Structure 1
Amino acid sequence: MTFSILDLTKAFSEKHLSAIAGAQRGIERETLRIRPNGKLSSQGHNKALGSALTHEYITTDYSESLLEFITPVSPSIDETLNQLKDIQKFTLDNIEGDNFWPMSMPCAVVEQDEVMLAQYGSSNIGKMKTIYRQGLKNRYGSMMQVIAGIHFNFSFSSEFFESLQTITGDTQQKQDFISDRYFSLIRNYKRYGWLIPYLFGSSPALCPSFLQGKPQSLPFKKAPAGCLYLEHATSLRMSDLGYTNSSQSELHICNNHIDDYVEGVQKAINLPSAEFAKIGVKVDGEYQQLNSNILQIENELYAPIRPKRVAKSGQKPSDALKEGGVEYIEVRAMDINPFVSTGISKEQMYFLDVFITLCMLKDSPTVSPEQKQVFTDNTNLVILEGRKPQLTLIDAGQEKTIPQWGNEIFAEMKLIADLYDKAYETTQYSTVVEAELNKINDPTLTPSARIIDELLTTGKGIVTWSMDYVKQYNKEAKEYDYQVFNEDLFIELAKKSLVKQQNIETADTKSFDEFLAEYFEK
C-alpha cells in the first residue's frame, strides 16, 4: 500500500510527534589552508593539532593543506554548529598564521607540485592512507586534492522507524526495514537531488590556474579581474571538472536493496582498469597506487549520497553495511557556503532535515540503470546550467522547468516543515522552506548568482573577494568564546592522538607489503 506525504505527516502529527524530534546530525567540513596573501599553504599538519591519523575531530583529507573538521553526532543543530565553531577556533589559533579558504574550488595554485599529499606517519595504516592519495594524484591530478566540500551526516531515531513501521503496517525485522527505508531515501535523493546544487551550489567560478593541463570545452567567460565563470552554473565542484571519476561510469552500483549495493561495491573494488594499470602499482620500489582497479578502496566511489554504518577497526565500509545494515546517510553534494564562517548555515541544515525526510517518506519505486541515468543527467544540467531561463529537466518522462517541478516538490516539503515546526515547537522550518522556495521562482537569489554578481560588480578577483570574507571570519573567530568544547580539551585530545599514533606504529609487526596483501585478501 502506498501512503501519501499528507497521510504520513498527519499520522506522525497525531500520534507519533516525538519520533520526529529525535534526528541526529553531524558535519564533516573540509577547508583549504592558505597563507595571509591568499596562496596555498605549504606548512605540514601542525603538531599542536594532534595526529591527523587518530584525532577524532581534526584531520586532513586528500592533501596536507586540506583540513577536515568532524563534529560528533548531536540531536541539536545549534550544538552541531557550535561544535564546528569551537573546532575551527582552536585550529585557527594553532596553524601559525594560516587561514581557511572559504570556497570549494581552490585558491590560485601556480604549480601542481605545490599540493602535498596528506601524511599520516610510519604505520602501515598511515602509509596506506598516503599511498591511496598518491594513487588519486596519479589518476586524476593534484588539483583534485585541493577541492573542498561539506558532508552532512543524518540519521532518524529508532523511535521514528518504530512509528513508521506501525503507521505503514510493515512486519519486517526492524533493521531490514531501516535499511530498506534508507535505500528508498537514497533513490529519492537522486530523483530530486538536483535541488541541492540549484539551491546551495556555490562554485560557479574558478581561478584559471585550476585548469592547468586539464582538457575541457566549457563556454567559460572571463570576469574583469581574470577569474573564469559559467553564466548559469551552480556548482563546478560537482561537474566533470570537480571531484568525479569518469572511469566509474561503467560501474552500475544498484541502490534498490542493500545486498545489491554491497555486491556492486565489492565487485567494483576488484574490477581491473586498463587505464590505471598503465600507471603501475609498485614502480622502482615505490608504490604509485594501492592497486590498478577502478577503485583502489571503497572511498574512491564518488556519489552524492552514501549509505553508512560506523565500521569496526579494520572493517571495510561495505562489510559493515552487510553485517549490521544502514545506520545513517551521508549527503556529499554540498559546496562550501562562502557566506558563513562554518561553510554551512543553520538554515541549510533546517532545509536538509526537511528534504531528507521528504526523501524518506515519499514513495520510492526501484529504478533501472536507464532511470538512474536520467536522474544523473538532470543533476548535471543543473550543475552547469541551473539558472538558465526555461531550462527543462525530465520527471518520469515529462519535461518540466525548475519552477514547475520545484513548486510541486515544495508543496510536499511544506507539510514536512509544518511537522518539524510542531515537533520542535518553532516556526524556523517553515520559514526556511519558504525562503528556499523563493530561489526556485527567482534564480538571482541563489548563492551561485550572488557570487557571480559580486565578482562582476566589484571587479574583484576570486582571491581578493575571498580574502574579504577570510578577514571577516578571522575577526569572528577571535571574538568567539568556546560554547561546547574548550581549549584545554583540545590540547588534551591532541596529546592523546599523538600517543595513539605512536602506539599504532609501535604495534606494527608486518611489512607494508604483507599488511596490504592481507587487507585486500579480507
Structure 2
Amino acid sequence: MKYIDISGNFGIERETLRVDSRGRLAQTPHPFAYDPHITRDFCENQIELVTKVASSVEGALQHLAELDRHVQAVLAQNGERLWLYSNPPHFDYEDEIPIADFTGDHSSKRSYREVLERKYGKKLMLYSGIHFNFSFTEDYLQALNTEQQDPRSFRDALYLRLYKQLMRHSFLLVLLTAASPFYDASLDKEGKSGIIKSKYTSLRNSERGYWNRFLPILDHSSLQAFTDSIRRYIDSGALYSASELYLPIRLKPRGVNSLGALAENGVDHIELRMFDLNPSAPLGIDVKDLTFAHLLMVYLLSLPDTDFTPEQQVQAVQAHQHAALLAPEPELLERAEHILTEMAQFYAGQEEPLAVIASELEKLNARKVGCCCTGSQIYE
C-alpha cells in the first residue's frame, strides 16, 4: 500500500447577500470598515468573507466561522442577516442592486463593476457562491521535482497541468455540490414574484450563469502562452480585464491578483469557483465537499499531461453546464462514477479519503435515481 500525501494550503472566499428583516436586499452601505477578510463583491449588499491561508480545510473553515459570527452579530444590530443561498431573494427592480461603492485607492474596482453592469446587467451579479483556493506545500513540490528542474518553471508547469485537468473535471464538482434548484421569479423579469423550481440544480453554473458572451479559447502550452492568450482578448476589447474571464478555474499569483503579476511572478495557487452555497451546511459549505475537491486535485495530478485543444475546451464548458441540469445526461453520470471509482483505487488503504469518496458516490447515486442532490440534502 502506498501513502498519498494530501497536505496543502487552503483558503475560502464566501459570497453572500445582505438582506433586511423582510428578506429583501439590504439598501444600507457596507457596514464594515476596510478589512481584507470582510469585503464586497459586485454589489454593495454582497459580503465576501476571505479566510486566512490555513494548513487544512478544517482550519480554513474555522476562520470562516469566526468571520461569519462577527458579521452576523454586526448585521443583527441593524436588523439584517445573511442570505445563505446562491440564488438571490425577491427584488422589484435592478435599482435595488447597488454597485459596490469602492472609493479612493480602490475606485478602479467600481469602474470595473460599472463595465460589468453595462455589459451583463446587474441581475447576474447577484449569484453568490464559494471559491476554494489551494496550493501544494513547498515540501510537496520539492518531492515531486525529482529531476531538479528550476523551481519556478516546475511549479508553473505543474499548476498549468492541474488547471487543464480541473477544467476537464469541473463538471464532477458541479454534479456533487449543486445546491440551488429554486429561484424567485424576479430573476426572470422585474415585478414578477413566486418561487420557481428550475430545470437546473445550479443556475450560476448553468448556461444562465456566470459566463462570458463568447467562450475564450486559451493557449495552455506554457504559462507565458496562457497569459498572452488572455492578454489578446483584453487588447482586442473582448475582455475588460483578466477578472472578466468567467471560467470555473483560475490560476492566481501571490499578492496582487493581476495578469501581469501572474506572468511575472508565476502561479501561487489555484482557485475553484463553482461551489454553490449549501443551505443545509451552517457556513454554506460542507467540509466533505472541500476535502473531496482537494482529494480530486491530488488525484488529477497523477494523471498524464495531455493537450487541451480548442475543441476540448468547448466540450469541458459544455459538460460543466450540462452537469448543472436537474436531469443531466446518463453518460455524464457514468463518467462521474468512473472517476470516483478510479479515485477510490488511487487512495486504496487510506481510510479518511475513502470515506469522503464513498460519501460523494452516495450523492452521485442519488442523482442517478432522479433526485436533486443539494449538498448533503436531497429534494425529491
Q: Same fold (TM over 0.5)?
A: yes
Mapped contact 2:278–2:375 kept (Cα < 8 A): no
The answer to whether structure 1 residue 435 and structure 2 residue 359 are counterparts is: yes
Aligned match of 1:92 in 60, 72, 75? 72
Q: How does 1:103-502 map to 2 (within 5 A)?
A: 103-121=85-103, 123=104, 125-166=105-146, 170-212=147-189, 226-231=194-199, 233-246=200-213, 248-249=214-215, 251-271=216-236, 293-312=237-256, 317-385=258-326, 387-388=327-328, 391-392=329-330, 400-402=331-333, 404-418=334-348, 421=350, 427-443=351-367, 444=371, 446-447=373-374, 450=377, 452-453=379-380
Q: Name the amino acid aligned to 1:257.
A: S
Displacement of 1:171: 4.5
Mapped contact 2:174–2:323 kept (Cα < 8 A): yes
Residue 255 and residue 344 in structure 1: after superposition, are their counterparts in 2 closer, same or farther (change >3 A)? farther
The answer to whether structure 1 residue 70 and structure 2 residue 37 are counterparts is: no
C-alpha distance in 2 between matches for 1:338 and 1:418:
32
Displacement of 1:418: 4.7
C-alpha distance in 2 between matches for 1:362 and 1:87:
37
Q: Name the amino acid aligned to 1:74.
A: A
Mapped contact 1:30–1:149 kept (Cα < 8 A): yes
Larger RCO, structure (CA 8 Å, separation 6 or more): 1
Could you tell me which runs of 5 or more consecutive residues in structure 2 were left unpaired when the two chains were aligned.
none
Q: How does 1:29-108 map to 2 (within 5 A)?
A: 29-46=14-31, 49-51=32-34, 55-95=35-75, 96-108=78-90
- Cα RMSD for the two superposed structures: 2.3
Mapped contact 2:280–2:376 kept (Cα < 8 A): no
Displacement of 1:416: 4.5
Identity over aligned pairs, percent: 27
Q: What is the TM-score when the length of structure 2 is the normalising length?
A: 0.92
Q: What is the TM-score when the length of structure 1 is the normalising length?
A: 0.68
Instruction: Decide which structure has greater helix share.
Output: 1
C-alpha distance in 2 between matches for 1:172 and 1:79:
32
CA deviation map 1:56-105 (0-9, x unaligned): 10000000000000001000222211110110111111121211111111
Mapped contact 1:235–1:383 kept (Cα < 8 A): yes
The answer to whether structure 1 residue 26 and structure 2 residue 3 are counterparts is: no
Of structures 1 and 2, the larger Rg is shown by 1
C-alpha distance in 2 between matches for 1:431 and 1:159:
26
Mapped contact 1:33–1:100 kept (Cα < 8 A): yes
Partner SS state of residue 384, structure 1: coil
C-alpha distance in 1 between matches for 2:94 and 2:102:
21
Displacement of 1:229: 2.3
- Number of matched residues? 375
Mapped contact 1:184–1:359 kept (Cα < 8 A): no
CA deviation map 1:437-474 (0-9, x unaligned): 12222213721795654xxxxxxxxxxxxxxxxxxxxx
The corresponding residue for 1:479 is none
Could you tell me which runs of 5 or more consecutive residues in structure 1 were left unpaired when the two chains were aligned.
1-8, 214-224, 272-292, 393-399, 422-426, 454-522
